[in-house]
Structure 1
């Protein structure tokens, strides 16, 4: 087993299950911190700010981290945009506070007046008017970016529509494929690697979902650790052509 210096870790299904704690995850993070490892939570959730995520981990899941340990698809989207567009570029956003604040913090201007980019993420208050505006702006020449392709997300009511469902609607109406940022795309992983300044050979991705967490690692050429505490099941994963580097039933099994 390699001596990994960095650990990218998924949240829901890996670190917790909704509001329910996963005690093994808290113990795992503590062992990583005690060993001096770099810990970065890499999540497709674009609605929450790093402050919110860090506070939730500290107050509700016994995981002592700061905003520097949080990397959301909102931040990855802003970082990616900063790599291809000048500060002050105009963007139209379908999304919530996490996405909007990440873009504004990088110097982008949110407007519906001739934006350079249309960015679509999860918006639980989305309306036809917002979607109509996004579609028309893309058809007029704005470049189309989607935060992530998750079709659903779990909550206490079940599997509700995710950001990918909204992105797909805009894609269908514009007949244009967006640049996608979140897992399983390589972009979010590349942005996260740049943040921690570690080579991919020294970092492992830890997650519960083969089709987001593990495929993201595969797509960027990183090792991966699949934990069976969330979405993916052993009988499903064994059928995949490319297997995770490691598989465990509980993060207590992992040797640092």
Structure 2
């Protein structure tokens, strides 16, 4: 394990964590995830589960996590859809948007006071969906050409499924960008804005907050740029051998959250002696 001299996991008062690859994998809880969440709740530590998935509402995601054995309250889930809606509500309160996405995104935008329309929208907002249509993409292209600003919930080009990779938001955004020559503003990870909005949500300070992730190119770089302690787990995308190929490093790393929980739960003196 490697960590910075300035702060360690024992200095952390608030936790942000990715979901897929850290807490769950293909709807199965990763060993140690339930224990880590119980540790946070028992010790009254503030935490948020972050995800770039904009398909589901926090209520939907809570139900999915419960089915995998993880008890995460709705208020402890922060999605790219919520971050996008919050961003747009600050940019243009009561604005109008043409939306390609599902309930997680449309609900978040409605709750933020936006009007969903294909008539003179201020924004075209692209999110995750399993039913991308040629008609909707064509409409988005024409609206952007007509002056609507292009917003994207997240940059992920592919998403996982039991059958293999699926094209995701970033891939469709690339199609629209190529047609319009307009690049979207992307709100979700690795944009540090998603992390700052998460910090505000739980009234946390970057100096005493950590980010747990399984990807160097999204979770770790964004956490680093937001000033958080970064914790990489090797239960998802980035393997231990791949870390050396990046020009930056996490503050600390573990095989999975099980080892992180074990160290958090150990007496501080014992943890220091093991390093």
Aligned to 1:67: 74
**Contact 2:27-2:64 within 8 A present in 1 as well:** no
Alignment of 1:104-119 (within 5 A): 104-119=110-125
Matched, 1:33 2:59: no
Q: Is the contact between residue 121 and residue 167 of structure 1 (CA under 8 Å) also seen in structure 2?
A: no
Are the equivalent residues in 1 in contact too, given 2:40–2:47 (CA < 8 A)? Answer: yes
**TM-score, normalised with respect to structure 1:** 0.96
Tell me if 1:79 matches 2:106. no
SS in 2 for 1:40: strand
Conservation of the 8 A alpha-carbon contact between 1:4 and 1:204: yes
Does 1:244 find its partner at 2:244? no
Alignment check: 8 A CA contact 1:44 1:183 kept: yes
Query: What CA distance in whole angstroms lies between the structure 1 residues aligned with 2:89 and 2:13?
Result: 27
- 8 Å Cα contact 1:149-1:180 kept in structure 2: yes
| Counterpart position of 2:172 | 166
* Aligned residues of 1:121 and 1:166 also touching (Cα < 8 A): no
Match among 210, 226, 231 for residue 225 of structure 1: 231
Structure having the higher Rg: 2
Partner of 2:269: none
- Residues in 1 aligned to 2:229 and 2:177: alpha-carbon distance in whole angstroms: 32
Give the structure 1 partner of residue 28 of structure 2: 20
Cα drift, residue 184 of structure 1: 0.8
Q: Work out which of the residue numbers 191, 194, 198 in structure 2 matches 1:188.
A: 194
Q: Deviations over 1:117-136 (max 9, x none)?
A: 11011121111110111111
**Structure 2 unpaired stretches of 5+:** 1-7, 265-275
1:135 aligns with 141
CA contact (8 A) 1:44 1:73 kept: yes
Shift of 1:241: 1.5
- Structure 1: tracts of 5 or more residues without a match: none
Please give the secondary structure, in 2, of the residue aligned with 1:235: coil
CA distance in 2, matches of 1:225, 1:236: 15
How many correspondences in the alignment?
254
Deviations 1:29-61 (A, max 9, x none): 111211211110010000001001111112x23
CA distance in 2, matches of 1:95, 1:81: 16
- What's 2:272 paired with? none
After superposition, what is the alpha-carbon deviation per residue over 1:70-113, rounded to whole angstroms, capped at 9, x for unaligned? 10000000011111111x21000011111001000111000000
Return the alpha-carbon distance in structure 1 between the equivalents of residues 28 and 203 of structure 2.
Answer: 32
* Partner Cα separation in structure 2 for residue 204 and residue 83 of structure 1: 26
